[in-house]
Structure 1
């Protein structure tokens, strides 16, 4: 350590100090810090996965910190080169501190889907997450050690010797990993096989992997927009003068079936819908566990098994097909956007409107989605689909999602620091948000009923994904689908059909009621809406249409010669 001191006239004595280190040693020190202080969730999961001290294999237990340290050292060595070494290491410290905070506080893991979800979060949601506790955590775990890096003087060596030392240190670290893997192969194989989430928890390795996957997906060679349903057209019936069709699809946010009153929850969180005679489907699964995946996926025709993230921007969806067929389309948004699903159709963002009744502090409650909607309906002359993208129960600040008049369940967690609130207060705030969602959906339904004289109307409400409320120490959503708990994938779905649509299409109410407890998913939305809007296309799959089996036997429409020719 080198210390220097000096005096200037009229000033106090100023002391500075520096520490000399080689780049490999500095990288190793930072790796040790990250392993010790930025990976608490990782070590908790490891300790639980190996059954703690009862594991019976002290060699395996002792090797775990060394394995993680050597892996992190290699990663940092690959990223940090030359004069950028300290800058790269400082960034790694800061970012790792932020990642470790959210992993520790909410029980999340980091993969490309979670990174996408974070990058598409709007500024209002970001502000909700910034707390004194978060800033304190980042300061202690990230900022302080990053500042200490400024006091390190890198030992100067020739480029050749510098490269030789880096290569040698990486080879030694890799040899340690290889030796551990060979001697404890069975123990490690069992650990990673039974706890696949571990690879998504080691920081900053998980973040580097997520960034790599995200960049590879976002910046791959652009592809031409894939057209879907090029032959789409509306069925034109001969000699029938029917009313225009008006269907509203309400995309909820973060509503889970476990807390939905109509699905048997102990609290009546859906009292208004219960009085409206809706069809309630109790076994519905989402396409993903985050908005960035589920919203574009549910509007595609391929289903969850074949959906790819790039489809959100590079492939047409339901709204494109309907618009091509001549159906009017409008997307109204009170969330963070449609994630590609509405890129080529008219949109209306209500999330930043200055509506005194619904908006305050830069955020609008979901009643804002209905503001001016009747005026829009009055202008409709033909078949139309309206999508209302709700703010719903978006966490972690559930108590901000509803007006005070819907605060039925108390006390509530009035904070975004969920791990600092009692579980009951979290559930209370969340249930209040569902109570308000119930009101907004019911209000929309009543609006459609009011317009039945002019339109054949229908409403579909389904959430984009569910939510964890602290079960097993997990909060929010976004876990990889394969490891996500049911609370994040089991969602509510409600459908209401006017008598006009049921009579015209021959949809039998008793048949539909018999399907309420059957398994459904967001895969059914695309094909069911095509049916509701009387749109024919070769990509339509009747087996995924929720209404198909409940139509009167041999119910068919007589088409014009031109329409039949296009199909053939």
Structure 2
């Protein structure tokens, strides 16, 4: 006869308020190291006169987290919601701690629009161990908590009582030390983007609100667009290749004064590098659609490219052949209404690996496409460029000119020298691809008047002030993330056709420019007449003997909305 008593799995009996308080304490102590570092720097450490304020901060944050989780977790969803919060908080704290990023709606937009290749670049063993220690283990503990069962009315009363006590304590702290808290938040607004998980909740709210605010009608832009009439001596169509770079920062281009020779190919091809150009955003999800729209940085809103026509739509309407070729994570709605090709999943030997392709893939079969074109054409090549953190994957081994190289995606484990070397090698490869593109245009000079314009979507932080990658809110972002390269190569025939003064163009090298100029400059270069064109934003117009003038807004050029099927 077996008299052994089975060993019961251990359990903890808690009320829901107690469980929420325990999770809040865990988040306070173990998921917010970047936040507390920033707070410590913001208050200047423990000093005479601020002791009470500094000691009150952990209590303030604990109470705030308790209130936030109390609002989120109710009834049978208490444990599932808290489990999700712990996992999200663990992942968020890892990336904030490793790369110095903050979380807002734009960063969430980047996450929502990333592709599998970019996501895989961010995975490593350190992340998995971090998730295990700070996410999975507390989650498992929660599964062993047995919540005290109460009727819904008593549970509601307990919850409201707990929140009332918390709000009272919060109010006492704030009113007692109002001046200190107001000064801290006024002078260090970034703190609200660093407190986990309230920053994630705020980001989700901001992202959702912006997505729901996107109109359901497609706004037509430049309905009156047409190509300028060709003169008798013009026998060739125009061909412009617009190359959209990824994560290239102006500071590391030797054309702009960088000490390493990262642009040997471009330097030998007579290009013009503009040295004072700023991006619309600090991430592809913002900058890419923004630069192709007519609204500029100040007028851009998330999701606008899905409901508003852009540069490519206007060009296509005017009779220009348009094609978008992509080796990145997509065009964010900009190319949805024009012919487009996705090339980053090709299997071309020598140009592609299992998970991605080098940017030379953008030039594959491009000549065959050009051979079929008989009219003005624009080709957009969206590059993978220097997307991090795996900069070493962005170029073939033959282009590893600078070293030592950081050859993994855990930047915090690499020296800054090796990170910069890998990044510079990726720029060297971009330089090569741009040089090959110019050579292709030269080979087609008998058939087309040609030009190439390269501009990056945003820059990159490489460890300056503890910051890596990109995506900081624009107001907080350093110049490394917003100062971008823009490079022009234009054939002599195109210069002559556009009545451009070469010396005048060179004198524009240091003029303040931005993504706002792209829409209007390309329209001017392609000779498109439309009421949507603004001459003052056309970087070429200053150097033209005879510039385009915008058409007067007529009945046919009004911005007519078109219903988009859901």
Residues 1:485 and 2:478 are matched in the alignment: yes
Does structure 2 conserve the Cα–Cα contact (< 8 Å) formed by 1:290 and 1:478?
yes
Matched residues in 2 for 1:536 and 1:564: separation? 13
Q: Determine which of 182, 187, 209 is the counterpart of 2:180.
A: 187
Report deviation, 1:221.
Answer: 6.6
| SS class of match (2:270) | coil
Matching of residue 64 in structure 1 with residue 25 in structure 2: no
Offset, 1:361: 2.2
Question: Given that residues 391 and 401 in structure 1 are in contact (C-alpha distance below 8 angstroms), is that contact kept between their aligned partners in structure 2?
Answer: yes
Bigger mean CA offset, 388-397 vs 182-191? 182-191
TM-score (norm 2): 0.95
Task: Choose which of 436, 440, 460 in structure 2 pairs with 1:447.
Answer: 440
TM-score, with length taken from structure 1: 0.95
Give deviations 1:266-309, integer Å, cap 9, x for gaps: 11111110111001100000000000000000001111011111
- Asked whether 1:135 is paired with 2:122, we answer no
Using the alignment, how far apart are the partners of 2:178 and 2:317 within structure 1? 57
Relative distance call for 1:515 and 1:238 in structure 2 (3 A) is closer
The CA distance in 2 between the partners of 1:134 and 1:154, in whole Å, is 31
8 Å CA contact retained: 1:31, 1:72 = yes
For 1:104 and 1:126, the matched residues in 2 are separated by: 18
Mapped partners of 1:242, 1:567: distance in 2: 29
Distance in structure 2 (CA, Å) of the matches to 1:310 and 1:226 = 13
CA distance in structure 2 between the aligned counterparts of 1:312 and 1:93, rounded to whole angstroms:
35
The corresponding residue for 1:505 is: 498
Distance 1:428 1:555 in 2: 43
Equivalent residue in structure 1 for 2:308, among 315, 321, 343: 315
SS in 1 for 2:503: helix
Shift in Å, 1:239:
3.4
Tell me how far apart the structure 2 counterparts of residues 344 and 84 of structure 1 sit (CA, whole Å): 43
In structure 1, runs of 5+ residues without a counterpart are: 1-5
What's the CA shift for 1:219? 3.2
How many Å separate the matches in 2 of 1:18 and 1:408?
59
Tell me how large the CA RMSD over aligned residues is.
1.8
- Alignment-derived partner of residue 190 in structure 2: 197
Whole-angstrom distance in 1 between the partners of 2:169 and 2:267: 63
How many angstroms apart in 1 are the aligned matches of 2:130 and 2:521? Answer: 48
User: In the TM superposition, what is the alpha-carbon distance from 1:533 to its structure 2 partner?
Assistant: 0.9
- After TM superposition, the structure 1 = structure 2 runs for residues 122-271 of structure 1, keeping only pairs within 5 Å, are 122-220=115-213, 222-271=215-264
State the partner residue of 2:358: 365
> In the alignment, does 2:395 pair up with 1:395?
no
Indicate if the aligned counterparts of 2:104 and 2:199 stay in contact, CA closer than 8 A.
yes
Q: Which residue of 1 aligns with 2:460?
A: 467
Aligned counterparts of 1:111 and 1:471: Cα–Cα separation in 2: 21
Shift, 1:223, TM fit: 1.9
CA shift digits 1:132-163 (9 cap, x unpaired): 10000011001000000011110111211110
Identify the match of residue 98 of structure 1 among 71, 86, 91.
91
- Give how far 1:357 is off: 2.0
Aligned counterpart for 2:346 among listed residues 350, 353, 356 = 353
Instruction: After TM superposition, give the deviation of residue 215 of structure 1 in Å.
Output: 1.4
1:461 shift after superposition: 0.3
> Which one of the candidate residues 112, 115, 118 is aligned to 2:105?
112
CA contact (8 A) 1:7 1:14 kept: no
Question: Deviation per CA, 1:494-520, whole angstroms, max 9, x where unpaired?
Answer: 001111111111100000100001110
Q: Which residue of 2 aligns with 1:279?
A: 272
| Structure 2 counterpart of 1:3 | none
Deviations 1:1-38 (A, max 9, x none): xxxxx958xxxx64411111110110010000011001
1:413 aligns with 2:406: yes
Inter-partner Cα distance in structure 2 for 1:178 and 1:152: 31
CA distance, structure 2, for counterparts of residue 305 and residue 332 of structure 1: 28
Question: Which residue number corresponds to residue 81 of structure 1?
Answer: 74
Offset, 1:555:
5.8
**Aligned-residue offset at 1:259:** 0.8
Other structure's SS at 1:348 match: strand
Deviates more, 1:388-397 or 1:124-133: 124-133
Structure 2 residue runs of 5 or longer lacking an equivalent are 559-566
Match of 1:247, SS? strand
Indicate if the aligned counterparts of 2:219 and 2:307 stay in contact, CA closer than 8 A: yes
Alpha carbons of structure 1 residues 236 and 55: separation in structure 2 relative to 1, 3 Å: farther
> Conserved in 1, the CA contact under 8 Å of 2:347 and 2:354?
no
CA 1:242–1:175 in 2, change beyond 3 Å: closer, same or farther? farther
- Asked if 2 retains the 8 angstrom alpha-carbon contact of 1:466 and 1:491, the reply is yes
Q: Take 1:338 and 1:479, find their aligned partners in 2: how far apart are those partners?
A: 21
CA contact (8 A) 1:72 1:205 kept: yes
